[in-house]
Amino acid sequence: MREQTRAKSFTGRHMTIILVAFFGVVIAVNFTMARLASSTFGGTVVDNSYVASQQYNEWLARAAAQDRLGWDTEMTVDSSRYLLLAVRKEGVPLGNVQAVATVHHPLGRTAPVTLRFESATGGALRSTRPLAAGRWRLDLVVRHGAAEARYREDVR
């Protein structure tokens, strides 16, 4: 005699298990993504966008004045991770240039570090301390006499 196999029916218990598993996965993924997003957020560009908008025209005027200086900058990192900076005007290195930079991690994971520069060969400037390995955002202020220029560069 053959034994009859009885097909199991789909019950409310099965549906409950499926719904709980589905929404459990969705909630777990959402919490994971929210945690990763908040842990890597580096902050805001400006603290108060209204105040920044009031200074916009002044920023444009300073940028135009900086462009009129005609300075070209070249930043490189040597094998020892020292930052080399060359400031030129019409291809000729500017003499008696002073520079200071603030470097910070683009995602805000480390505190900003101030870099000072000293004279190097060929009219260039060399940072007095090396950069740590990784990607850095460099805010550079260059002064030559009364003229001042500001640059922002990403350095690896």
| H/E segment holding residue 28 | helix 12-39
Residue 15 has pLDDT above 60, yes or no: yes
CATH class of the domain comprising 49-155:
mainly beta
Measured CA to CA, the distance from residue 136 to residue 150 in angstroms comes to: 16
Q: What is the mean pLDDT of the chain?
A: 89
Instruction: List the domain boundaries for the chain.
Output: 11-41, 49-155
Higher-confidence residue of 138 and 6: namely 138
Are residues 130 and 141 in contact, defined by beta-carbon separation less than 8 angstroms? no
Closest CA to 103 of 132, 81, 76, 60: 132
**What are the backbone angles phi and psi of residue 47, rounded to the nearest 5°?**
-75, -35
How confident is the model over 83-132, as pLDDT tens digits?
999 999 998 888 889 999 999 887 767 788 899 999 988 788 999 999 98
Is residue 126 classed as helix, strand or coil in its secondary structure? strand
Three-state secondary structure string covering 61-91: HHHHHHHHHCEEEEEEECCCCCEEEEEEECC
Given a cut of 90, whether residue 46 has pLDDT beyond it is no
pLDDT score, position 29: 98
pLDDT at 65: 93
- In this predicted structure, the answer to whether residue 1 has a pLDDT above a threshold of 60 is no
Mean pLDDT of 131-151: 91
Residue 42 above 90 pLDDT?
no
**pTM of this structure:** 0.66
Provide the b/e sequence for 74-105 (b: ≥16 CB within 10 Å): ebebeeeebbbbbbbeeeeebeebebebebbb
Q: Taking residues 51-55, report their average pLDDT.
A: 91
Q: What pLDDT shows up at residue 110?
A: 79
For residue 2, the model assigns a pLDDT of 58
CB atoms < 10 A from the CB of 117, how many?
21
